[in-house]
Chains A and B, each alone.
Chain A
Amino acid sequence: MGLIRLVFFGFIALSVVYFLVSIYSRSVRREKLEDSWGKDNPDSNDDAAREAFVDRGITEYNASIRPKLILLVYVIPVIMVAVIHFLTTYN
């Protein structure tokens, strides 16, 4: 029973962390893309081209391994629980 409760609430808590980290990571990436556009085209007022550049970068980011690494948010706590349990019980 305790295990079910831990898994249930742990999953909810880690999902919140997962979504927050995802949003943060994408936001940082978007800002970097905007900055690099601004650096390469310092006096451009072409908002559509800028938008297209940023959107392309975000699509690339979505396809890359980086957003998948955020899934480690679920993996690492499980490993930590296993390690702590092992150290307490078999050490």
Chain B
Amino acid sequence: MRKIKIGLFVFVFLLVGSLLHYVLPQHDIVRITSTEVIRTDFTWLNRRFYAQADSGSAELGTRDLRLINTEKKNTFLFGFIPRDSSRVMVYRNEDTGWIWPPYFKFDSSDLQAQAAAEISVSGNEQWAVLTHYGWRNKYLSIYPNAIGVRAVDGPDVQVIPWFNIFFFVFLTAAFLFLRAMWRQFRERTIDPAIQDMGDSLEAAGDAMAEKRGRVRRWLDTWRN
């Protein structure tokens, strides 16, 4: 029972963790090498890793996809610890529109133009901080979605993830509030109901009282 509990906990933790890792913004330090547009045919396998067609356009099975090709500085620990090496990274650039994930991004074309304006040539390297969400996977042909780009002087910039800080503070507060609500509900509504149930069962005699004990014991397992 305990093992199942731990297993379930780990599973839920991984699920929620990967969802947050996919959806929350991250900052990469990159050198933009080129921008391009490719035609993409989605399959049921990778469709969910793309947003929709540009805001205001028709949604078809096939469409063009803006890409930003970069060389990205490697990091450890979600970008907190910089490394000396770098690798190639390709970002897509799609409108997220009004729905999911909630970035409310409508300016893909502008972002593409901005990325093109900050293309880095060797000998005169231009570094940029590129904000994105999502994952790169070569087997599914999916790309992280670029949200914003801004030029920086050099590759040694430390970006403070303000949004994520606020987000996790909010998440903790929401969790504590929800827990307080649940406790209040249990204390004021469920427990009195059990009390009533218990009282009426008590009057019904020992056999029933035994049953009540069982009900109580079962309910007690929910408490901790």
Seen from chain A, the residues whose Cβ lies within 8 Å of a Cβ on chain B are: 2-3, 5-6, 20-21, 24, 27-28, 30-31, 81, 84-85, 87-89, 91
Give the complex CA separation of A5 and B102 in angstroms.
13
**Contacts A/B (CB < 8 Å), 6 sampled:** A5-B98, A81-B104, A84-B103, A84-B104, A87-B148, A88-B105
- In the A-B complex, the 5 residue pairs with the smallest Cβ-Cβ separation, listed nearest first, are A2-B98, A85-B104, A6-B98, A24-B181, A88-B105
Give the complex CA separation of A3 and B104 in angstroms.
10
B189 to chain A, nearest CB (A): 8
Query: Contact check: which of B55, B107, B147, B180 meets A2 at CB < 8 Å?
Result: B55
Seen from chain B, the residues whose Cβ lies within 8 Å of a Cβ on chain A are: 55, 97-99, 102-107, 147-148, 180-181, 184-185, 188
Majority-rule SS of A interface residues: helix
Residues from chain B with Cβ under 8 Å of A6 in the complex: 98-99
Write the chain B residue with the least CB distance to A80: B102
Among the interface residues A20, A84, A87, A88, which one has the most CB atoms of the partner chain B within 10 A?
A: A88
Write the chain A residue with the least CB distance to B103: A88
Given known pairs A2-B55, A3-B98, A6-B99, the reply for A88 and B148 (CB within 8 Å) is yes
